[in-house]
Structure 1
Amino acid sequence: MKNKKRRREQPRPTIHPRNKYSENPPDFALLASLYPSFSPFVFYGRDGRPRIDWTDFGATRELTRVLLLHDHGLDWWIPDGQLCPTVPNRSNYIHWIEDLLSSEIIPKINNNADNIRGFDIGTGANCIYPLLGASLLGWAFVGSDVTDVALEWAERNVKTNPKISDLIEIRKVDTCMDAVLGEDSSEDLLCNGSKTNPSNGLGRESAPISSYTRDDAVEENSYSGPPILFGVVRDGETFDFCMCNPPFFESMEEAGLNPKTSCGGTSQEMVCPGGEKAFITRIIEDSVRLKQSFRWYTSMVGRKSNLKSLIAKLREVGVTIVKTTEFVQGQTCRWGIAWSFVPPARKIVSPYLAEKSNLSFMLEGLQRQFGAIHVLQSIESFFREAGASCKLNVHSFSVDITASNDHVKGILRNKVALLEESVGGDCEEEPPSCSDTMPCPSDDLSFCIIVFQQIPGTLLVKGSLQRKDGLLSGAFPSIFQRLEEVLKQKFCREKASVAIS
């Protein structure tokens, strides 16, 4: 019972702090008073709070329409039956990608933050990600889709918003391409675009994409639909990221199992053989062919149980880094997965402050001969070997650590070496030392690490930064990630080979 209580007390992920609705959730009563078309869908519960019927497609569509109009200045509509997105949840995804692009984990393609290009896989009739990304952040987008209905309404939703229409291209996927994607071919493959857009350079005539041989291909999977990225991205195109809300289900019967919501959705939007796992696996395989055409490849994931196998697939194909997150909106949880083939940046000490002062990770699949005390002692040894000062408390299962600038550089230099070994990197350059462009911090980094017993074979390791405003605080997430890699290699049955958080 004690362990279960501890597990419930773990902080639950929340809506992204930059999300417009993080502090001010939609006010149904206010929206009903401002938009008469929304008023019929609002009723009041016994507690006096305004509500809508989430099983009514008309209500969810009208809510999305008025939120996009009221909070984003966007005119929007979709016909009956098309997938209706929830604005707060989709905004979370946009802001997470913004975090990835602004991080210094991997180098930027360009230093112009006003020239970000994204690719929305299966943009749908709603075209929600390009509309939000363009209106919130000024990003340019290519949105791809297959069906005529989706393409027609996506185009309409772009054209009815002339302030951002020049930033968005809607591109038709040529379904005849799929017959050759898994076969040996020495001929150039062609792709089609449904719209020209000379203002942002995306609308040139269809160009050949590079041919590939069987040596470039990866193992086949159960996905057998139209092209996703390879065969749609044109030769020479580069993007900062791709994003995707994949078909989550294997059948429409499975898609209809949740009676609490009605967000619509056609079979093309909701279903594919093998479900989201097969669809995202194809994105991974396409990314192997396209490599650094994208700085970040990302996708939403509907089932947490699929994350483990998708991460394993990414390890197999040799990506340099994997990142995951959780999207929370009300009682609904979705996950995000991101990966890259860009070699990791070698910056050791970040000159900016740490975004998080509390971090954690799970040690699952602990080998039977090890317990919490062994992990705790290993944590102490890990930092002592780097020269840091450690104070072990076996009663509270905690270690207080103080590390100087030299200690931090030593720990992270070892991290870079481990990462290169795990992904087959061939860069021989030493990590950079402090210079005039990156001042050497002089104060120490202080933090505490605690080990909690969860269930047999599982431990929770939590780290707390003591001084968030210290000059070395920006190195704390990288140090904690390095510790995670070392502990998983030493104590868990499944070895960690890339950086995961």
Structure 2
Amino acid sequence: MGGGRKRRRRDGSDAPPVMHPRNRYAAAAPDFAALASLYPSFAPFVTVSGGGRASVDFTDFAATRELTRVLLLHDHGVNWWIPDGQLCPTVPNRSNYIHWIEDLLSSDLIPRISKSSETVRGFDIGTGANCIYPLLGASLLGWSFVGSDVTDVALEWAKRNVESNPHLAGLIEIRNANEAPCSSKSETVAEEAVRENTSEPVDSVVRSIAPIFVGVVKDSESFDFCMCNPPFFESMEEAGLNPKTSCAGTAEEMACPGGEQAFITHIIEDSVSFKNSFRWFTSMVGRKANLKLLVSKVREAGASVVKTTEFVQGQTARWGLAWSFIAPRKNVIRSSTPGKVHHSFMLQGLRRGNGAFQVLKSAETFFCASNLSCKTDSLSFSIDVTLSDEQTQAATLDGDDLPGSVEDDSTKVHSTVTGASFRISVFEQMPGTLLIKGSLLNKSLSGTFTSLFSQLEETLKTEFVSKDR
């Protein structure tokens, strides 16, 4: 919040990173001076420079706590407080995570769980005394939540924060993960999940971290998503190394053996056994270096879809990881509609901060989410997309158009063109306008290509083009 030095982006540009476009604070940071005039309790924490710029000392826990309290009350109508020493969340950053999950749920990539009601239901792992995600999700979008935690203080204050908001209390339930029954059945489920995905001894992995889903998620329960702000560090000493922020937070909130990598790995392992209970599994990731490894673990666990994103607030960046075991909708990789071998469309009126690189990476994510192989060339701004032999044969059996063959039906499937592929290219026409071209590199499966390209067009326009156009 409040600007700061620009960070160099992945595409080499100096454009500042942007928040989620639906984030209340995306257009402008909170006006500290205006808030101080409205809320006298906040005024002592605001300093005005000679140039008239108002600022807050983010190394001061009391200041960040009062700012969070004021923002939740002023912008969200939420009454909130936490005692000294608890983790104090920043509202803009947490809002980014909520809106990203909203994007995942509104996409047509995977279907809803059949048992899901009309009300979106989320599970917050380690909700903390602040209970920030359930309070934001309920106030912004009317979602219902189960929040779990293990410490007495976190459970007490999470419940207090819920009860302080009667208009939201019916949407939020707080559960004590320590009360999870340690039945032989629960232990067996957890051990089977670990054996499938790690070579480490079962006891050291399962029992080193408190229960996440086993015994906490009830039989036959289903959720649209889970979310988590995991302990980022391996020790409290490591957590205190950043002099620019207040090192508030309990040991349970800030650190665990193995840090965030171990904690999120445990979520991934548990998710294998609860694949039918959640539409999306998600977690925040504090270190980009861990993201690639965790994506690999998710794929090894057998997830059908994996998505990532970046959360930005001022000079602070976090990453989001999401995965699902639900099969993508069939029309993502199959189509019986004949199509052309060349397609194109324009992206006009791109939102601020978006360009060819961002569009290229989003297109890559779109195809990877459909389990298609992608080879991206950032220099030529192009992606070569390849269907596996199995996907090619599936589309063939589903009636896609193939070039003429003199072979009989008994051998036709086995001789289909392997590695059917196409190329997506991004061209800048003028500032704010891009041309997206697609070319089928062989003439098989043109119907599948047409269907995929149409879905890509819809996805990119939804993500990058302003709604008022």
TM-score normalised per structure 1: 0.67
Matched, 1:229 2:213: yes
Equivalenced residue count is: 381
Whether the aligned pair in 1 keeps the contact of 2:180 and 2:214 (CA below 8 Å) is no
Aligned to 1:53: 57
By how many angstroms is 1:417 displaced?
4.9
Q: CA 1:15 to 1:429, structure 2 compared with 1: closer, same or farther past 3 Å?
A: farther
By how many angstroms is 1:110 displaced?
5.2
Whole-Å separation in 2 of the counterparts to 1:251 and 1:318: 31
1:182-331 correspondence to structure 2 within 5 Å = 187-189=184-186, 212=189, 215-218=192-195, 219=198, 220=200, 224-262=208-246, 264-331=248-315
Whether the aligned pair in 1 keeps the contact of 2:9 and 2:16 (CA below 8 Å) is no
For structure 1, the 5+ residue unaligned runs are: 190-209, 364-373, 380-395, 402-410, 434-445, 452-462, 481-501
Aligned to 1:146: 150
Whole-Å separation in 1 of the counterparts to 2:70 and 2:177: 30
Q: CA 1:119 to 1:281, structure 2 compared with 1: closer, same or farther past 3 Å?
A: same
By how many angstroms is 1:48 displaced?
1.9
Q: CA 1:397 to 1:295, structure 2 compared with 1: closer, same or farther past 3 Å?
A: closer
Aligned to 1:475: 455
Which of the residues 294, 316, 331 maps onto 1:332?
316
By how many angstroms is 1:428 displaced?
11
TM-score normalised per structure 2: 0.71
Whether the aligned pair in 2 keeps the contact of 1:222 and 1:273 (CA below 8 Å) is no
Q: CA 1:33 to 1:115, structure 2 compared with 1: closer, same or farther past 3 Å?
A: same
Q: CA 1:5 to 1:295, structure 2 compared with 1: closer, same or farther past 3 Å?
A: closer
Whole-Å separation in 1 of the counterparts to 2:311 and 2:292: 17
Task: Tell me the amino acid that sits aligned with residue 324 of structure 2.
Answer: S
Which string of whole-angstrom CA distances, capped at 9 and with x for unpartnered residues, describes residues 294-353 of structure 1?
000000000000011111111211110110000000000000000000011123499xx9
Does the residue aligned with 1:118 lie in a helix, a strand or coil? strand
Q: CA 1:32 to 1:417, structure 2 compared with 1: closer, same or farther past 3 Å?
A: farther
Runs of 4+ with deviation above 6 angstroms: 353-357, 398-401, 426-429, 477-480
By how many angstroms is 1:285 displaced?
0.4
Whether the aligned pair in 1 keeps the contact of 2:177 and 2:216 (CA below 8 Å) is yes
Which of the residues 46, 61, 66 maps onto 1:62?
66
Whole-Å separation in 1 of the counterparts to 2:194 and 2:271: 11
Task: Tell me the amino acid that sits aligned with residue 264 of structure 1.
Answer: A
Q: CA 1:307 to 1:151, structure 2 compared with 1: closer, same or farther past 3 Å?
A: same
Does the residue aligned with 1:158 lie in a helix, a strand or coil? helix
Task: Tell me the amino acid that sits aligned with residue 360 of structure 1.
Answer: L
Whole-Å separation in 2 of the counterparts to 1:236 and 1:360: 41
Q: CA 1:89 to 1:432, structure 2 compared with 1: closer, same or farther past 3 Å?
A: farther
Whole-Å separation in 1 of the counterparts to 2:292 and 2:98: 23
Task: Tell me the amino acid that sits aligned with residue 175 of structure 2.
Answer: R
Whether the aligned pair in 2 keeps the contact of 1:320 and 1:344 (CA below 8 Å) is yes
Aligned to 1:493: none
For structure 2, the 5+ residue unaligned runs are: 1-7, 336-345, 365-374, 402-422, 438-450, 461-469
By how many angstroms is 1:8 displaced?
2.7
By how many angstroms is 1:360 displaced?
2.6
Which string of whole-angstrom CA distances, capped at 9 and with x for unpartnered residues, describes residues 59-87 of structure 1?
00000000000000000000000000000
By how many angstroms is 1:473 displaced?
7.0
Does the residue aligned with 2:323 lie in a helix, a strand or coil? strand
Task: Tell me the amino acid that sits aligned with residue 299 of structure 2.
Answer: R
Q: CA 1:136 to 1:214, structure 2 compared with 1: closer, same or farther past 3 Å?
A: closer
Task: Tell me the amino acid that sits aligned with residue 8 of structure 1.
Answer: G
By how many angstroms is 1:174 displaced?
1.9
The answer to which of 161-170 and 109-118 deviates more is 109-118
Task: Tell me the amino acid that sits aligned with residue 476 of structure 1.
Answer: L
Whether the aligned pair in 2 keeps the contact of 1:222 and 1:274 (CA below 8 Å) is no
Matched, 1:93 2:77: no
Does the residue aligned with 2:234 lie in a helix, a strand or coil? coil
Whether the aligned pair in 1 keeps the contact of 2:180 and 2:216 (CA below 8 Å) is no
Which string of whole-angstrom CA distances, capped at 9 and with x for unpartnered residues, describes residues 83-117 of structure 1?
00000000000000000000111112259884100
1:34-53 correspondence to structure 2 within 5 Å = 34-53=38-57
1:70-469 correspondence to structure 2 within 5 Å = 70-109=74-113, 114-174=118-178, 187-189=184-186, 212=189, 215-218=192-195, 219=198, 220=200, 224-262=208-246, 264-348=248-332, 358=356, 359-361=359-361, 397=380, 414=387, 417-418=390-391, 430=398, 448-449=425-426, 464-466=434-436
Q: CA 1:399 to 1:264, structure 2 compared with 1: closer, same or farther past 3 Å?
A: closer
Q: CA 1:49 to 1:116, structure 2 compared with 1: closer, same or farther past 3 Å?
A: same
The answer to which of 104-113 and 326-335 deviates more is 104-113
Which of the residues 16, 31, 39 maps onto 1:27?
31
Which of the residues 15, 20, 45 maps onto 2:19?
15
Whole-Å separation in 2 of the counterparts to 1:31 and 1:429: 63
Whole-Å separation in 2 of the counterparts to 1:40 and 1:357: 42
Whole-Å separation in 2 of the counterparts to 1:398 and 1:58: 48
Q: CA 1:235 to 1:176, structure 2 compared with 1: closer, same or farther past 3 Å?
A: closer
Task: Tell me the amino acid that sits aligned with residue 20 of structure 1.
Answer: R
By how many angstroms is 1:231 displaced?
2.2
Aligned to 1:441: none
Whether the aligned pair in 2 keeps the contact of 1:465 and 1:473 (CA below 8 Å) is no
Whole-Å separation in 2 of the counterparts to 1:95 and 1:416: 37
Task: Tell me the amino acid that sits aligned with residue 286 of structure 1.
Answer: D
Whole-Å separation in 2 of the counterparts to 1:279 and 1:285: 10
By how many angstroms is 1:447 displaced?
6.9
Whether the aligned pair in 1 keeps the contact of 2:304 and 2:323 (CA below 8 Å) is yes
By how many angstroms is 1:14 displaced?
1.2
Aligned to 1:198: none
Whether the aligned pair in 1 keeps the contact of 2:190 and 2:270 (CA below 8 Å) is no
Q: CA 1:164 to 1:427, structure 2 compared with 1: closer, same or farther past 3 Å?
A: farther
Task: Tell me the amino acid that sits aligned with residue 82 of structure 2.
Answer: I
Which string of whole-angstrom CA distances, capped at 9 and with x for unpartnered residues, describes residues 240-286 of structure 1?
00000000000000000111111510001001000000000000000
Identity of aligned residues (%): 57
Aligned to 2:4: none
